[in-house]
Amino acid sequence: MNQLSHYDKSGRARMVDVSDKPPTARTARAEAFVRMKPAVLDALPRNPKGDPLEVARIAGIQAAKRTASLIPLCHPLPLTHADVSASIEPRGVRIVATASTTAQTGVEMEALTAAAVAALTVYDMTKALDKSITIDKIRLLEKTGGKSGHYRRNRA
């Protein structure tokens, strides 16, 4: 089993030194699901604050770019691409975020942060209609590049 890399030999949290790692092309895709009642879904196009899905998309992209400011031991990365899509499904809104870079470490945290913040933005823009909205399954779907190679989650 792999060891946790964010701890030194004495057990103190540390930022991982990636100086010796070669830059490689890396991508990540993550999702979150905002579960809401049908009445809230029906009201999305008439939201007085604006289109919640478009605002969430922009919020997610901004979050991907700010991940190192939010996650204490995360490396700041030069993103070459970040995008977020939001689609309406029968039980809520599915958020899918992608991030890409050519760097010494991966972009999983950027994709996950983008998905989480986009989902929180949908909640923020719809909470006046229903406080019982939930955010489910914030998770990595796929990542490429780096020493650990390709990973793809089964959709179950």
Q: Which residues are catalytic?
A: 124
Amino acid (one-letter) located at 66: R
| Contacts (Cβ under 8 Å, ≥6 apart) of 30 | 96, 97, 108, 111, 112, 114, 115, 138, 139, 140, 141
Identify which of 108, 90, 106, 110 has the alpha carbon closest to the alpha carbon of residue 33.
Answer: 90
What SS3 state is found at 4? coil
